[in-house]
């Protein structure tokens, strides 16, 4: 079944002999009812001509980062926002290296770095280049950024050598993209709720109890759900993180506010409770600022348990309820106990005693505990890539 119909694909062609295959990719994309716009690097123009690309795509070819004829459009932004996905084929060792280091010295790399869409790379290079450790490191780094690789294949190369590094065939690439859009269609119109960040439990008008959560992991999960076709609502405590523009973002402060907004946005197909909700709140809130004293005794009481309440709700419980557990010891035991006690489907647990992951870090490693199967570990990676891995499992579960 064709899932490419009426999709918008931005194809970036880099300089290599495999660039000739990109022309067939364009033809197949068009044949399947999708629209394709193309960016040619300077070196790509030595292998395929802009005229050939225009003839096949029936669209303008973009080559310059700064084009005086379209200066107001800011092509690197408008193209990245226009596309449903970005395909780089062939992706040369040079372009892969530049992207892994965040370099943006031409239109191709600038568009890619400015994009908020899924990015696929179809690598093509000599077998020795492909196997070089620096290239392998760059590929691994891009995977942690959320880039997805199509191939390469093993076969005869233009240089006369044989091995891995041959660009995937155009039909393989199209099948890969078709499967991606099929996956999106299966979750289209499904609703997701994500909670993120800390809560603030006020002592008086100027003081409150909170925790170290930045909200980054929750925001990354919400952004990934949104990119993968979910109608996503993000309920966040105080955080400086940025959500994708078409996510419904609701800002709250206290656990009570977070709970009320969660109920207001049910029902949903999936709920991911990644927020670090305060376990206690002040029993007697002071309406006026408390004056400085030698000793201040705070009377605390248990806060509302959002995960427990939603997971055990008779009528509004989502199909998939996922809780988070931040632990400093006995991670497996505590996560399994929480999984049972809260009646949720998954618990995603991480060890916050490790200094290089979790709080105040851009990286994380977690263990996912499932209700009816063995747990699995996801090794240290960027929070963005971890979010994609979690969402991939959510989609597989719902399907």
Instruction: Identify whether the C-beta of residue 88 lies closer than 8 Å to the C-beta of residue 122.
Output: yes
DSSP SS3 for 194: strand
Given this model, what pLDDT does residue 246 score?
86
Q: Report all structural domains of the chain as residue ranges with CATH numbers, in order of start.
A: 8-185 (3.40.50.1950), 188-398 (3.40.50.10300)
pLDDT band, residue 72 (cuts 50/70/90): very low
CA distance 212 to 390: 22
DSSP SS3 for 297: coil
Out of 36-50, 200-214, 225-239, 345-359, pick the least confident.
345-359
The verdict on whether 159 is a catalytic residue reads: yes
Residue 295 has pLDDT above 90, yes or no: no
Starting at the earlier edge strand, list the strands of the sheet with 85-91: 61-62, 35-40, 8-13, 85-91, 118-123, 148-149
Out of 59-73, 151-165, 329-343, pick the least confident.
59-73
Residue 223 has pLDDT above 80, yes or no: yes
Task: Summarize pLDDT for 139-169 with one digit per residue, the tens.
Answer: 999 988 889 999 999 988 877 788 899 999 9
Task: Summarize pLDDT for 190-202 with one digit per residue, the tens.
Answer: 999 999 999 999 9
Given this model, what pLDDT does residue 353 score?
83
Given this model, what pLDDT does residue 155 score?
87
Given this model, what pLDDT does residue 361 score?
84
Catalytic residue (choose from 77, 159, 298, 300): 159
State the average pLDDT over residues 161-189.
88
Given this model, what pLDDT does residue 394 score?
95
């Amino acid at each position: 079944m064709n899932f490419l119909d009426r999709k918008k694909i931005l194809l970036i062609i880099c300089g290599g002999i495999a660039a000739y295959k990109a022309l067939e990719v364009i033809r197949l994309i068009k044949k399947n009812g999708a629209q394709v716009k193309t960016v040619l690097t300077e070196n790509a123009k030595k292998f395929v001509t802009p005229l050939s690309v225009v003839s096949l795509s029936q669209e303008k070819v973009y080559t310059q980062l700064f084009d005086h004829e379209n200066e107001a459009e800011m092509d690197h932004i408008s193209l990245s926002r226009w596309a449903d996905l970005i395909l780089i084929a062939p992706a040369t060792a040079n372009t892969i290296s530049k992207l892994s280091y965040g370099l943006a010295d031409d239109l191709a790399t600038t568009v890619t770095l400015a994009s908020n869409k899924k990015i696929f790379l179809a690598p093509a290079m000599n077998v020795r280049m492909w196997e070089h450790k620096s290239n392998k490191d760059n590929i691994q780094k891009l995977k942690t950024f959320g880039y997805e690789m199509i191939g390469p294949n093993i076969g005869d190369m233009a240089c006369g050598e044989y091995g891995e590094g041959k660009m995937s065939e155009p039909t393989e690439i199209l099948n890969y993209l078709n499967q991606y859009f099929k996956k999106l269609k299966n979750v289209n119109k499904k609703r997701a709720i994500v909670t993120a960040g800390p809560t603030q439990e006020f002592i008086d008008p100027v003081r409150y109890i909170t925790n170290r959560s930045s909200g980054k992991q929750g925001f990354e999960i919400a952004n990934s759900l949104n990119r993968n076709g979910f109608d996503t609502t993000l309920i966040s405590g105080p955080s400086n993180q940025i959500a994708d523009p078409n996510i419904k973002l609701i800002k709250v402060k206290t656990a009570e506010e977070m709970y009320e907004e969660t109920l207001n946005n049910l029902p949903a197909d999936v709920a991911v409770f990644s927020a670090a909700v305060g376990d206690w709140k002040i029993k007697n809130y002071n309406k006026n600022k408390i004056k400085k004293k030698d000793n201040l005794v705070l009377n605390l009481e248990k806060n509302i348990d959002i995960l427990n309440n939603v997971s055990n709700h008779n009528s509004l419980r989502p199909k998939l309820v996922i809780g988070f557990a931040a632990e400093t010891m006995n991670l497996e035991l505590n996560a399994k106990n929480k999984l049972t006690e809260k009646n949720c489907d998954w618990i995603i647990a991480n060890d916050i005693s490790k200094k290089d992951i979790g709080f105040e870090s851009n990286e994380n490693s977690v263990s996912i505990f499932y209700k009816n199967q063995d747990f699995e570990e996801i090794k240290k990676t960027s929070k963005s890539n971890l979010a994609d891995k979690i969402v991939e499992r959510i989609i597989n579960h719902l399907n």
